Structures are given as C-alpha cells and as structure tokens.
Amino acid sequence: MSTAAGPGLRPGLCTVTLRESSVPDVVEVAAAAGVTALEWAGDVHVPHGDHGAAERAAAASAAAGLEVVSYGSYLFLDASTDRHVDEVLDTAATLGAPGVRVWCGYGIHPDASADERLVVTRAASLAASAAADRGLHLTVEFHGGTLTATAVSARRLLDDVGSPVLFSAWQPPYWSPRSPDDELADLALIGPELSHVHVYDWDPDGTRHPLRVGADRWVGRLRAARAAGAAAVGAGVPRSALIEFVPHDDPGSLPAEVSSLRTCLDRALSD
C-alpha cells in the first residue's frame, strides 16, 4: 500500500469521528481502514486527567501500528487556561502525543477589540510555554466563531505569540466558504506554522458528502498544505491529513473515505 503522504503529511483520523465507539473498536476500525495516524479525542476517548484511558489508548494504538500524532483536547485559550493547562498537557504526555489541539474561546472573533485579542494571546503564550516545558507543541483549532476563524487572524495570533511550539490547524471553512484560490492563499499564509489538516466534505449547512465528491478540490488543498508546512516537517512536527467526521457518522463508511483520502494524497504528490 502506498504511504501516499510522503514525510510529514500522513493519512489519519480524528477519533471523535467514531464518538460512539470504544477505544479498542476505534483502533480496530482505523487500522482496518488503512489510516496510519490518530488524534485521540479529549472528550470521549481520553478525557482530560484520565491517565488510565490515556495509557490504554496509547497501548492499543502502538499494538496496531498506529502513530498518535495529536491529543484532541478541549483546552480553551481564555481566562480559564491557567486552571486547566497542566491537566491537559499531562494527559497528552501520558498518551504519548507529541502535540495538543487547543481552541480559542468562542465569541471572540477575528474583528475583536485589542483587549479581547490580548486575552487570547496571553492565554496562548501561557499554554505554549507550558507545552514547551514538556517537549510538546500546540495546534490551535481553525474554527468558526473563534479568533482563528480566518487565516489572516490565525496568522496574526501566531505572530503575536511568537512561540516556536505554536501552530495552526486548517479545515475547509464551511462557516464562511472561500473560493478554491482563496483557500490555497490561506494555506500559504499560515505557512510553516501549518500543522494538521482536518479532512471532510461539507456543505455550508452541514450536509456531509463522501470525500470523493470533492476529491479534485482536496488534491489542491493537500498539495498546498504540503508546500506551506514544509518547514514544520523539517522541525520534526508530525503533520497529518486527519479525517474528521464521515457521512451519517457511519463507521462503515470509513474505509471508503480513507481510500479517497489516500488517492487524493497520491494525486497531490504526482499531479
């Protein structure tokens, strides 16, 4: 089977995709579908502070030959960060994840005031410092309703914090759809600080389609992601194209989705 991804951009899965499945079932389904990387969900599979769950997920992943590339936490970069950051990062360390997904708080948007931005920037700086002390990196969720709802605002946050362990994820902005050319420009703007890409095919209203429906557009996105994040690969940050949610939340659709993703990755390397 082709690795498809080349170094630093591998086919993976956010385990929240299989929210209703147990840790052993997630690993079995993921391995059978052909992913090589996992982001373990911090709400259902490896809750914050549950080191037993983290150990079990780490052991199951290793036994199946799956690399843990991220801990999908729900740590928010806001006034509460200092109360939760140690618990989240310690759980990630037990899991063996090299990085942690974090979120900007909801309600502070890209057009926020300077004071509102400062709250997020200070929280991100605090969390990044704590992560660096543990040899971890952070990936800020790229998401509507938050400060990182746009690439311009995400880029500004990265620059304002200026930490070598702070990165940004990217996903198609269904909350504010962009043209293909604008998406590619956004990926280039995030640049070397691009971490994981979350992969799905959604309409703006949330209707989900099989990944093959948007395959041509995904080829361009993945090619741009590899180019934008080349320096991050050189810095040793594992980067993956992570399937996040599938049509009808059906685990049975995962093999076809992974096959489509691998085909897109192959084309991104060859076209």
> SS in 3 state form for 135-195?
CCEEEECCCCCCCCCCHHHHHHHHHHHCCCCEEEEECCCCCCCCCHHHHHHHHHHHHHHEE
Q: What is the pLDDT of residue 238?
A: 73
| pTM of the shown model | 0.94
Q: How far, in Å, CA of 20 to CA of 102, rounded?
A: 22
Q: What is the pLDDT of residue 271?
A: 64
Kind of pairing between the strands at 10-14 and 67-77: unpaired
Q: How far, in Å, CA of 53 to CA of 142, rounded?
A: 27
- Residue 168 φ/ψ, nearest 5 degrees: -125, 140
Q: What is the pLDDT of residue 6?
A: 39
Q: Quick one: pLDDT band at residue 78, thresholds 50, 70, 90? A: very high
- Residue 263 φ/ψ, nearest 5 degrees: -60, -45
Q: Model confidence over 95-122: pLDDT tens digits?
A: 999 999 999 999 999 999 999 999 999 9
Q: Quick one: pLDDT band at residue 236, thresholds 50, 70, 90? A: low
For the residues 35-46, what does the mean pLDDT come to?
A: 97
Architecture of domain 10-270: Alpha-Beta Barrel (3.20)
For the residues 248-270, what does the mean pLDDT come to?
A: 95
Q: How far, in Å, CA of 123 to CA of 100, rounded?
A: 15
Three-class SS state of 1: coil
Query: Would you state the structure tokens that stand for residue 256, as one six-digit string?
Result: 């076809």
Q: What is the pLDDT of residue 64?
A: 98
The overall average pLDDT reported for the chain is 93
Task: List the domain boundaries for the chain.
Answer: 10-270
